Structure 1
Amino acid sequence: MTTFDNVKEIIVDTLSLDANDIKLESDLINDLGIDSLDVMELVMAIDEKCDITIPDEEIPNLTTVQAIVNYIDSVKAA
């Protein structure tokens, strides 16, 4: 399973969004309609399911699905 597939699954499971709406270029707020509380819920789910910790200062940088995928890949590669 690719990182994108994993992130997509987490978004669908955590926020009950339609998988067909989630693309790499999707903006969390503008395209998917996620609010700040949803973002925090999503970050906690990613932390748990990907076995990483996203620091609070990184959260504002994670505005797209691609940004989340890139962040997870960079942490896993380190």
Structure 2
Amino acid sequence: MLNQIIELVADELNLDSKTLTKETRLQEDLNVDSLDVVELVMKLEEEFNIEVTDEQAASLKTIEDILNFVEANK
């Protein structure tokens, strides 16, 4: 599932998936802004058929955070 999430993030942010790891930080490493977060959350909700609240979205700081969230809520 990690690879699937990395591919999703890379696709949404127009990045090379090979540059991403589970330790990659969204804001610090990828310069993700609030609009990027909204779009990424929408893609996660669609891809994994889950719901993400604004508070939950704010807690997603790394690729690993996204992985853990998706696994816990799938």
**1:11-41: per-residue Cα shift (whole Å, max 9, x none)?**
1221111112211001001111211111111
Superposition RMSD on alpha carbons, in Å? 0.9
Question: Which of 59, 62, 65 is the equivalent residue of 2:63?
Answer: 65
Across the two proteins, how many residue pairs are aligned to each other? 74
Letter in 1 for 2:33: D
Contact 1:24 1:66 in 2 (8 A): yes
Give distance in 2, aligned partners of 1:30 and 1:10.
Answer: 19
TM-score normalized by structure 2? 0.92
- 8 A Cα contact 1:21 1:32, kept in partner: no
Please, which runs of 5 or more residues in structure 1 have no aligned partner?
Answer: none
What TM-score, normalized to structure 1? 0.88
Give structure 2 stretches of 5+ with no counterpart.
none
CA distance in 1, matches of 2:19, 2:45: 22
Find the counterpart in structure 1 of residue 54 from structure 2.
56
Q: Distance in 2 between matches of 1:28 and 1:18?
A: 14
Whichever residue aligns with residue 38 of structure 1, its letter is D
In structure 1, C-alpha distance between the alignment counterparts of 2:31 and 2:16, rounded to whole Å: 12
